[in-house]
Chain A
Amino acid sequence: MPSEMDQFVAEVTTFLDTHATRRARAAEDVAWGEGEDRITYFSTDPPDVENAKVAAAKAWQRTRYDNGFGWLTGPTAFGGRGLTTLHDLVYDGLEAAYEVPETGVLSLIGLGMIGPTILAHGTDELRQRYLPRLYSGEIIACQLFSEPAAGSDLAGLETKAVREGDGWVLNGQKVWTSVAHHAAIGLALCRTDPDKPKHRGITAFIVDMTAPGVDIRPLRQMSGGSEFNEVFLTDVHVSDDHRLGPVDGGWGVALTTLMNERASVGGEGAGPVGRAVALPFLTELLRANGRLDDGAARRRLAELHADTLATEYLNHQMIRKFRAGEQPGPEASVSKLMYAQNLTRGTHFAAEIIGPRLIADTGEWGTYSWTELLLSTPALRILGGTEEIMKNILAERVLGLPKEPGIDTRSPFRELRRSVGSTGSGRSGE
């Protein structure tokens, strides 16, 4: 008798065979000099191309959802299948062999982070209202967390929410908001009580991104594209039934989102970018440039390959722990640090092999195209928690080292110093 998992595999395969085309060659095979000459991490598409890709992503997510594959791990009451993380991994593994639209615009933030947060902290009414629409690809969600003066120190955020009637009025500015320009809803953290210590006066809300007073302005990244935005909130009304979690209990809500964020950034090594800096592609790069016998180049290739594979092994072990029902340890943070490092090293290694043909577009395949990745890698050490913050977390939470004694978590938020020129009476600046 076939096992439950065998049946699931058969079910997925039938679905994919019906709705998608199998790839002509395995995703990891290298066809040097063939195909699209682009290695991208962030999108640099013009708006019409980008919009078409978003539409295709939504349509594919809809197809998955209609066939029972839109939200494998979600509860059935809210449109999920009630299956396990392992089913998710198995599905992803099978789908990788097919040509399907890239759905990162939905999944990275909305399905990967906001959905789980709504599920964990929302009322049944909020869950019923938004989860099926998110996981069916109908709407996209964004994360209204960071602010100009609250980056690594997220709990220092200043966007205000003030009670008015049976709702709230929001005022403030958010920044680095990925996919806000495609989003129907945003998860906003707001200051609701400045007289409490900073972590204890924050409340989370679901904001309608089309509401009056929501102004979305694209931010252009150093790599050229505009995947993220500034979002200005001016007298934006939110009804109280769109509050997520208790009043002043928003920090706990934020932690759920952030934990899901770290898990999603570290686990993306297998995508097209990962393949560009993996051994088969880099070996072809060396061969094409006549450097396969160059001892110095071979040494750097091997060092990179060793660290890349070891990081992959770490990810495999994380998956096996999930499978065994264990809670993974610090692997996700370590994996994120290593991924950023390996990708950065790989890109600069490729740049060295290519040499001056990287600095001007000669039209030659596989040369100038690396500039996009080169200009994207600095972001990997910042997004989802800077390298420095990740190291603090590892040292304090895993190794138990003491916190910075200068950090004030007790004084009322109102009294804290928030900029070089501010008059806060706290002792936070050393």
Chain B
Amino acid sequence: MSTEDTTSTELDELRSAVRDFMAAKADERAVRAAIDSERGYDDKVWAQMAEQLGLQSLALPTEHGGDGYGLVELTVVLEEMGRALLPSPFLSSVVLAGTALVAAGGDEAGRILPGIAAGTTTATLAPPSVDGGWSLGGRGAGDALAVTASAGTGEVTLEGTAPLVLDGAGADVLLVVAGGPAGPGLYAVDAGAAGLTRTSLPVLDLTRRIAKVSFAAAPARLVGAAGGAAAILDRVLDVATTALAAEQVGGARACLEASTTYAKDRVQFGRQIGSFQAVKHKAADMLTRVQVADAAAREAARAVDGVADAPDPGVAAAVAHAVCSEAFLAVATENIQVHGGIGFTWEHAAHLYYRRAKASQLLFGGPAVYYERLLAKAGV
């Protein structure tokens, strides 16, 4: 869908509404409370996101209870969430599962999507391969599919273990790419299904929960066409890496702002440390990274939305994923350095961003995977 119709003023208004919401509901104290909670996020805030701002429905199609906007609008929201480090199942439910279901189409997708749009159902999508990666039967042994489906057309059963499922312990619906008789297909499993075991895992990024999910003859329903997972996954990766890139830009901007503020406030040798070129040039390098990452993320959003003069979506999404991953990690790392000893304490927020930056970089496979994806998309 084309979203060139949303003016930059409207995008600014959306940003400011989301930023105000995050300032009120997801300040550092609230983020830390959510981290320490059982669920890992504040379900009241999640409900308010849907009821007051309609964030979950923003970029889902109107025929499934969404508002029909695109990535250009959604990435504004994601950037603000990334800036605040909001713990929530937004990436897993709205972005991963939502995109997979829209791409798959059909009755089953139509059954699940309205709940996702309303924020009353959370869903997630498990990475397809045994090593937690997102490639479908590629080169290595790690690319073998983690889960297989029994033969049949209506109700089938799933067998196997998906080792790294985002928000896998809390999601109401689990979407799984499983090997089936017609090739890899997309299947849906309800949280209460028999034969389902979900184990929450210790995580590097404290703001995002990950679970191991095992299926032992778990009943599942096919979503979309049998054997149709390859095209679905390709679309999911373009959209999800673009969404992640916007989050990363928001996180990187928060780190840059924290460093800038500290460099103005902190006095050593009788002067503000930001007046030393060693610090000043580090800050300028961080700004350069953030600006370039911001440009990459915005262009990817336009491309994935199919805006007329935008580049190829596969290429632009891969560029954004690479550039924003590297930028956020670099800026989050330097943020600790600018702060010195205080930046290495548990009480300071710098480590929360550093954790988010590293985990985000590796979430869809990491540099070895995203650089090859870029070359593949560029035809090399």
Could you list 11 examples of A-B contacts with CB < 8 Å?
Answer: A298-B371, A301-B375, A301-B380, A306-B318, A307-B292, A310-B295, A310-B299, A324-B8, A334-B287, A338-B292, A392-B280
If A310-B323, A313-B319 touch, whether A405 touches B271 (CB-CB below 8 Å) is yes
Q: A322–B130 Cα gap in the complex (Å)?
A: 49
Q: Is A309 an interface residue (CB 8 A)?
A: yes
CB distance from B92 to the nearest CB of A (A): 26
Residue of A nearest to B318 (CB): A306
Give chain B residues whose Cβ lies under 8 Å from the Cβ of A403. Answer: 275
Closest residue to B374 on the A side, CB-wise?
A302
Known: A310-B323, A313-B295, A394-B287. 15 other contacts (CB 8 A): A283-B380, A299-B368, A301-B380, A307-B323, A309-B315, A313-B311, A313-B319, A334-B292, A390-B284, A394-B283, A399-B283, A399-B287, A400-B264, A401-B272, A401-B279
Contact A317 B380 (CB under 8 A): no
A292-323 contacts to B, CB under 8 A, are 292, 298-299, 301-303, 305-307, 309-311, 313-314, 316-317
The yes or no answer to A279 lying at the interface (CB within 8 A) is yes
Q: A306-B319, A310-B323, A400-B260 are in contact. Are A394 and B292 (CB under 8 A)?
A: no
A380-394: which residues lie under 8 A (CB-CB) from chain B? 388, 390-392, 394
Bound Cα distance A307, B319 (Å): 8
> Knowing A310-B296, A310-B323, A403-B275 touch, does A337 contact B375 (C-beta < 8 A)?
no
Closest to A311 in B: B292
How far apart are the CA atoms of A395 and B375 in the complex, in Å? Answer: 34
Residue in B295, B316, B323, B371 whose CB lies within 8 Å of A317:
B295
Chain B residues within an 8 Å CB radius of A298: 371-372, 375, 380
A104 within 8 A of B: no
Query: Contacts of B371 on A, CB cut-off 8 Å?
Result: 298-299, 302-303, 306
A residues near B316, Cβ cutoff 8 Å: 309, 313
The answer on a CB contact under 8 Å between B380 and A279 is yes
Which residue of B264, B281, B298, B322 contacts A402 across the interface (Cβ within 8 Å)?
A: B264
Q: Give chain A interface residues in 330-352, CB to chain B under 8 Å.
A: 330-331, 334, 337-338
Q: Mark B18-56, 1 if CB is under 8 A from A, else 0.
A: 000000000000000000000000000000000000000
Residues from 328 to 380 in B contacting A, C-beta threshold 8 Å:
367-368, 371-372, 374-375, 378, 380
Asked whether any CB of chain A lies closer than 8 Å to the CB of B175, the reply is no
Chain B CB within 10 Å — which of A301, A306, A331, A394 has the most? A306
Least Cβ–Cβ distance between A28 and chain B, in angstroms: 13
Bound Cα distance A209, B280 (Å): 40
- What's the dominant secondary structure at chain B's contact region? helix
Partner of A391, one of B263, B285, B374: B285
Interface residues of A in 114-145 (CB under 8 A from B): none
**Bound form: Cα–Cα A313–B375 in Å:** 18
Chain A residues with CB below 8 A from B295, complex form: 310-311, 313-314, 316-317, 331
Closest chain B residue to A338 by CB distance? Answer: B292
- B184 at the binding interface (Cβ < 8 Å): no
Encode B291-312 as 1/0 by CB contact (under 8 A) with A: 1110110110000000000010
How many angstroms from the CA of A175 to the CA of B277 in the assembled complex?
Answer: 27
Interface flags, A237-274, vs B, CB<8A=1, else 0: 00000000000000000000000000000000000000
A398 contact set on B, CB distance < 8 A: 287
Interchain CB contact under 8 A, A302 and B8 = no
Asked if A11 is an interface residue, CB under 8 A from chain B, the answer is: no
Interfacial residues, chain A to chain B (CB-CB below 8 A): 279, 283, 292, 298-299, 301-303, 305-307, 309-311, 313-314, 316-317, 324, 326, 330-331, 334, 337-338, 388, 390-392, 394-396, 398-405
**Contact B284 A394, beta carbon cutoff 8 Å:** yes
Residues of B within 8 Å of A394, CB to CB, are 283-284, 287-288
Residues of A within 8 A of B374 (CB): 302, 305-306
A292, A301, A395, A405: the one within 8 Å of B281 (CB): A395
Whether B292 and A404, one on each chain, are in contact in the complex, defined by CB atoms closer than 8 angstroms, is: no
Tell me which residues across on chain B come within 8 A of A301, comparing CB atoms. Answer: 375, 380
Q: Assess whether B82 is interfacial by the CB under 8 Å rule.
A: no
Residues of B within 8 A of A (CB): 8, 256, 260, 263-264, 271-272, 274-275, 277, 279-281, 283-285, 287-288, 291-293, 295-296, 298-299, 311, 315-316, 318-320, 322-323, 367-368, 371-372, 374-375, 378, 380
B284 touches A391 (CB 8 A): yes
With A and B bound together, what is the CA distance between A181 and B295 in angstroms? 40
Judge whether B292 and A310 touch: CB under 8 Å.
yes
**B280 closest partner in A (C-beta):** A395
Contacts of B375 in A (CB 8 A): 298, 301-302, 305
Is the pair B275, A402 in contact by a Cβ cutoff of 8 Å? Answer: yes
Q: Which residue of B lies closest to A317 (CB)?
A: B295
The answer to whether B322 touches A334 (Cβ under 8 A) is: no
CB-CB under 8 A from B256, the residues of chain A are 399
Residues of chain A lying within 8 A (CB to CB) of residue B378: 279, 305
Among B291, B316, B322: residue with most chain A CB under 10 A: B291
Q: How far is the CB of A375 from chain B (nearest CB, A)?
A: 26
A317–B291 alpha-carbon span in the complex (Å): 11
- Within the assembled complex, what's the spacing in Å between the Cα atoms of A400 and B275? 10
Give complex CA distance A330, B290 in Å.
11
Chain A residue numbers with a CB within 8 Å of B296 are 306, 309-310, 313
The 5 closest A-B pairs by CB, nearest first: A302-B371, A391-B284, A314-B295, A401-B274, A313-B299
* Measured CA separation A331–B277 after assembly (Å): 21
CA distance in complex: A403, B271 (Å): 10
- Bound-state CA distance A206–B316 (Å) is 47
CB distance from B352 to the nearest CB of A (A): 22
Contact A316 B283 (CB under 8 A): no
Distance of A116 Cα from B319 Cα, bound (Å): 36
Are the C-beta atoms of B288 and A395 separated by less than 8 Å? no
Per the bound structure, the CA–CA distance linking A401 and B323 in Å amounts to: 26
Q: Say yes or no: B291 contacts A314, CB within 8 Å.
A: yes
Quick one: closest B residue to A303, CB to CB? B371
Complex Cα distance, B280 from A142, in Å, reads 33
B290 to A, closest residue via Cβ:
A334
